[in-house]
Amino acid sequence: MKKILAILLAGMITATALAGCGGGNGGSSSTDSKSDASSGSGSTDASAEKVVDANTVDPELFGDEDNISLKVWAPSQALELVKKQVEDFKAAYPTKTFTNIEVSAMAEAESGTQVLNDASAAADVFGFASDHLNKLVDAKVLSEVAFVNTVSEMNAPETVEAGKIKGTLYAYPETNDNGYYLVYDKTVVSEDKAGKLEDILAACKDAGKKFIFDCGNGYYACTYAFTAGVKIDGLEEDGVTQKFVQYDENEAVKTLQAFSRLMHEYKGTFTSLDVAQIASGFSTGTLGAGVDGSWNTNADQKALGDNFGAAKLPTINVDGTDKQLISLFGYKYIGVNAASKFPASAQILAYYLHGEKCQEQRAEELGWGPSNKNVQGKPVITDNPIQQAIKQQSENACVQVNIAPTFWNPMGNLGNKLIADETDPEDAEYFSKLLKDTVANVRDEG
């Protein structure tokens, strides 16, 4: 095997030997065999990685692997496209024999958990959200990126950095738009009314339509805490406890009261439902607006047609001041399972699926925002109002990395309490206690 192949794949082969059943709890650390390319400490010359272009690599990097069998997990809305991309991948390497590359549906929110449960039974290549990175790396179920210099050059710096742990890149950037935004029916909410939550709710009520915000889901409900000033800033040194920035408790309480006040004032209009109900609500004509994720863009557009409207999240008025809603924003990645029986092939496939061609296809067909710098500059993104809305919202967001597992349920509970019928929006003491309890529960201090 040629020297360059040995250098590039040394980290992968070591990781495979480590992985074992259930995520590699035995064996020695893979850090002993890191290549310069994988650790980022060697040459920054991407050509040394034997990359042919933004989508393919030198076929010799497959090494001795042939009769290749791989599993790929993709979210259901991307399933058919990924199947086509896998066929194109196989065609790009006509000298290799692919016995089978099975593509099946697995939500990015679930894939990491499934790999952690049993890496040996999980997919070789899978998509996941940025907040899963820490636990996957800690469990040693994620291989380091083999083509780190090339990947770093091709993708936006923020997505590359968020894919690193202690300077090592562990995943291939896939998107830079993993967040949520305001979607609305232009016949209900005019563009000049989409900037303020009060105006949106009034317009929906006047039209007899609903407004959906999933209050019980911590992924969305953390917006209430963040807007109140209770923002997160990574994890404490123990790697588990959620770190919060300093905040003004009095201002935070007033902000939570403002949200609760609107929820109660517009009871019957302000509705807490899963985002899966948004596209169907537009289709049936019962919905005027909602807060939805970037991954549902196509479904919402199809439901509304020419009446589709998109904007960053609105403001909320707190004691006479309009405050911008602050959301959670992250990235999506393609990971390589350290337990793969075909580690080189899995890395090369992950590189292909993260490449410029596939990212542009996902942008065109799914509306996903690319991490690839070239695709970011193409009209499919620059002329896309959804991507511009998401970009604007990303500037008003906490980054979705290093999220403690105790974060989600308390934030969902906070949202449920705000909208609950029995909650009195004027009871400041109640909200003060709710705020303190939420922070304590996130920090697992109960």
Q: Which domains does the chain have, with CATH numbers?
A: 3-177+331-382 (3.40.190.10), 179-329+396-442 (3.40.190.10)
Q: Confirm if 333 and 158 have CB atoms less than 8 A apart.
A: no
pLDDT at residue 305, as a whole number: 96
Q: What angle do CA 9, 10, 11 make, to 5 degrees?
A: 90
Rounded distance, CA 332 to CA 131, Å?
9
Integer Cα distance of 144 and 147 in angstroms = 9
Q: What is the pLDDT of residue 14?
A: 35
Instruction: Give me the residues of the chain with pLDDT under 50, please.
Output: 1-44
Which residue is associated with the tokens 């799914």? 366
Query: Rounded to an integer, what distance in angstroms lies between the CA atom of residue 37 and that of residue 398?
Result: 31
The total number of residues shown for the chain amounts to 446
CA 120 to chain centre: 24
CB burial of residue 95 (10 Å; 0-12, 13-18, 19+): exposed
CB atoms within 10 A of CB 309: 21
DSSP state of 74: E
Cβ pair 147, 51 in contact under 8 A: yes
Please tell me the predicted confidence (pLDDT) of residue 30.
Answer: 31
The per-residue pLDDT for range 360-416, each reduced to its tens digit, is 999 999 989 999 999 999 999 998 888 889 989 999 999 998 898 899 999 999 999
Contacts of 31 (CB under 8 A, 6+ apart): none
Q: At what angle do helices 3-19 and 343-354 cross, to 10 degrees?
A: 100
How far is 283 from 11, CA to CA, in rounded Å? 50
For residues 269 and 192, is the Cβ–Cβ distance under 8 A? no
Assign 9 to helix, strand or coil: helix
Q: How far apart are CA 139 and CA 122, in angstroms?
A: 14
Q: Which helix (H) or strand (E) segment is 255 a member of?
A: helix 249-265
Burial class (CB within 10 angstroms; exposed 0-12, middle 13-18, buried 19+) of 183: buried
Q: Please, which residues bridge with residue 74 across strands?
A: 105
- 308 vs 43, 202, 327, 379, CA distance in Å? 48, 19, 22, 19
Of 412, 434, 436, 411, give the one whose Cα is nearest residue 424: 434
Cα dihedral: 304, 309, 312, 314 (round 10): -100
